[in-house]
Copies of this chain bind each other. A is one copy, B any other.
Amino acid sequence: MDDLLTSLTARLGSHDDVETRLVKRAGFMYDDPHPGVLEWMPAMVTGGRAVVKVVGYNPSNPRERDLPTIVSTINLFDVSTGRLVALLDGVLPTALRTGAASAIATDVLARRGRPVVGLVGCGAQAVTQLHAISRIREIEQVVVYDTDPDASASFAARTAFLDLPIRVVDRLVLERESDIICTATSAAIGEGPVVDDTEFKPWIHVNAVGSDLPGKTELPFEFLKRSLVCTDFPEQALVEGEAQQLEAADLGPTLNELARDPDAFAGTRDQPSVFDSTGYAVEDLVVAELFLRHAREMNLGRTLAVERLEGDPRDPYTGLVAGVVPVGIAK
């Protein structure tokens, strides 16, 4: 996580629209045989690496197929040659980079001191949100809430490695006590907001992680209006983040700007702020490169020959004489 925070801060802080290219995620939505989405998220650093993450989102997976709702894989490419450099599972990298992005925003926008951190929604994202924030602030106390009591009850066990005092509380207690809140819920479209705006501390900082679909939001409109709202990828946030509730003109600095010049925003730490995290492919690129580097250092992973690079490029059947067709079946 420390490595990721360092790498991601450096990449975001030095972001340059010419050197780093990305597109909004795009995909196929479907209703048959059940509702779901298959989407792809590409980004490229010119002359460096490119990433294409493909995400399958099938909410009926757990109940009907004993699989996670989200299944994803990340392809990492070397741009100069076009070669695939690594293929990795996308779930852990995504959770890690989402936590790291919140920590980078929190470090710039939240008050100094020992905060109480409140987690609304206690699933996998809450684990990495807390982990990442614990690396940039000495946390006094963690208060957690989930509409599913199993999720809140098991949270302390899942974050035991952080050795932090964790209390399961009512949502209004959480809102009253927290200096920093992370919302990472699976509230359905139209179901939000998932917090009120009645007892927030004047300096509250919220990392809003859950909204990732048009129509899905977690924070009250009035709270957004009175807060400094920072986004990771404004064009995308206006379509699928909390920023859906706002206009482009209402948005504050981007995460890139926070990372580039954190001191410029120190004056806002006593005011309410929001990091509207929709997740974007540059974050995936950084975390995939980090996984690859660590895997090589730790001698993890498997080496595969997938691409056929040898033989006569004018003969597509080169190498088939031996009956060897290079197919990696990933299942």
Contacts and interface: CB of A to CB of B under 8 A. Distances in A.
Interface string A42-73: 10101100101011111001100101111111
A325 B304 contact: no
A30 B79 contact: yes
Most buried by B among A40, A57, A73, A82: A82
B71 A50 contact: no
Interface residues of A, number: 89
A173 interface: no
Interface string A273-293: 000000000000000000110
A315 interface: yes
A26 B25 CA distance: 12
B83 A56 contact: yes
A73 B307 contact: yes
A244 B268 CA distance: 54
Interface of A: 21, 23, 26, 28, 30, 32-34, 36, 38, 40, 42, 44, 46-47, 50, 52, 54-58, 61-62, 65, 67-73, 75, 77, 79-89, 91-92, 95-96, 122-124, 127-128, 151, 154, 158, 161, 291-292, 294-296, 298, 300-304, 306-309, 312-317, 320, 323-331
Given A73-B75, A89-B308, A300-B325, 16 more contacts: A21-B30, A34-B80, A36-B80, A54-B75, A56-B83, A61-B82, A86-B327, A87-B330, A91-B308, A92-B325, A122-B314, A124-B316, A127-B315, A127-B317, A161-B317, A328-B330
